[in-house]
Amino acid sequence: MSGWVVVAGLGPGAEDLVTPEVRAALAQATDIVGYIPYVARIAPREGLTLHASDNRVELERAHHALQMAAQGKRVVIVSSGDPGVFAMASALFERLEEIPEFAHIDIRILPGITAMLAAAARVGAPLGHDFCAINLSDNLKPFDLVEHRLRHGARGDFAMAFYNPRSKSRPHQFARVLEVLREECEPTRLIVFARAVSTPEEMVTVVTLDQATPEMADMRTVVIVGNSTTRRVGAWVYTPRSAPDGGATS
């Protein structure tokens, strides 16, 4: 029997948001590989081995998955949200690039609903015009680069989604992010703090930039900053699809 590796997105949390394609791959798998909280979402069954590992070991995890597939196993690497968004799909290809013996392995990437889209849908349509997504973690890049991209995103008047906004190991960086936003954007700019979207712990708050505090974000939060036209209509937040003429900033 020939093995394969699927990199699957489990969506933001709710079972209803796992795609049928991902469910089918999980049902055929012999082995599940992933970060502990994501593997915990998979129901144990006979014939299925769960391999949960800590974070920051993405390349080892990818290697392990490829090795098992080479031995004929059917392996699903699980990510939360979408596997291509700050997640395991890139780690798999990084390892594949390093080890040519794995080149023949059957690989499929199955998309999932990424956190910013689940969060955007909760409040309305804050990403309805041009937007970008920035991972605020400096695990894999210097914080200077985070700050640079953030400033240019704001100057380009993109709506922005921030992943990994704040952790215990780097509590001050999100305060710095808010400082940069205050330098670049007006105080009434709308910001959405969406925590644990589609789980029982979900909490979604919309504030203006002058009301935002670093404590409003943690590692389970995705933050969406509107562009200069993002506004409220009733209880909703949306960004119009069009930009005014001459809307380009510096």
> Which residues form the interface with ligand SAH (CB under 6 A)?
12-13, 79-82, 85-87, 114-115, 119, 163-165, 194-199, 219-222
For residue 100, give both structure tokens.
């040519």
Shortest distance (Å) from residue 59 CB to ligand SAH: 16
Shortest distance (Å) from residue 180 CB to ligand SAH: 18
Nearest residue (CB) to ligand SAH, 137 versus 227 = 137
Nearest residue (CB) to ligand SAH, 40 versus 248 = 40
- Residue 220 backbone phi and psi in degrees, to 5: -100, 10
For residue 150, give both structure tokens.
């953030």
Which residues share a beta bridge with 160? 132, 225
Shortest distance (Å) from residue 136 CB to ligand SAH: 8
Q: Which residue is nearest to ligand SAH (CB)?
A: 81
Other CB atoms within a 10 A radius of the CB of residue 143 amount to: 15
SS3 content of the chain, % helix, strand, coil (to 5): 35, 25, 40
Other CB atoms within a 10 A radius of the CB of residue 98 amount to: 11
Shortest distance (Å) from residue 221 CB to ligand SAH: 6
Contact residues for 224 (Cβ-Cβ < 8 A; gap 6+):
116, 119, 120, 123, 126, 127, 159, 160, 161, 162, 191, 192, 194
Shortest distance (Å) from residue 44 CB to ligand SAH: 23
For residue 163, give both structure tokens.
């992943």
Contact residues for 33 (Cβ-Cβ < 8 A; gap 6+):
39, 51, 53, 61, 64, 65, 68, 75, 76, 77, 78
Shortest distance (Å) from residue 244 CB to ligand SAH: 31
Nearest residue (CB) to ligand SAH, 220 versus 231 = 220
Give the residue among 79, 140, 144 at the shortest CA–CA distance from 113.
79
Nearest residue (CB) to ligand SAH, 12 versus 153 = 12
Shortest distance (Å) from residue 121 CB to ligand SAH: 12
3-class secondary structure, 206? strand
Nearest residue (CB) to ligand SAH, 173 versus 198 = 198
Asked if 111 contacts 8 with a C-beta cutoff of 8 angstroms, the reply is no
Nearest residue (CB) to ligand SAH, 202 versus 229 = 202
Nearest residue (CB) to ligand SAH, 221 versus 227 = 221
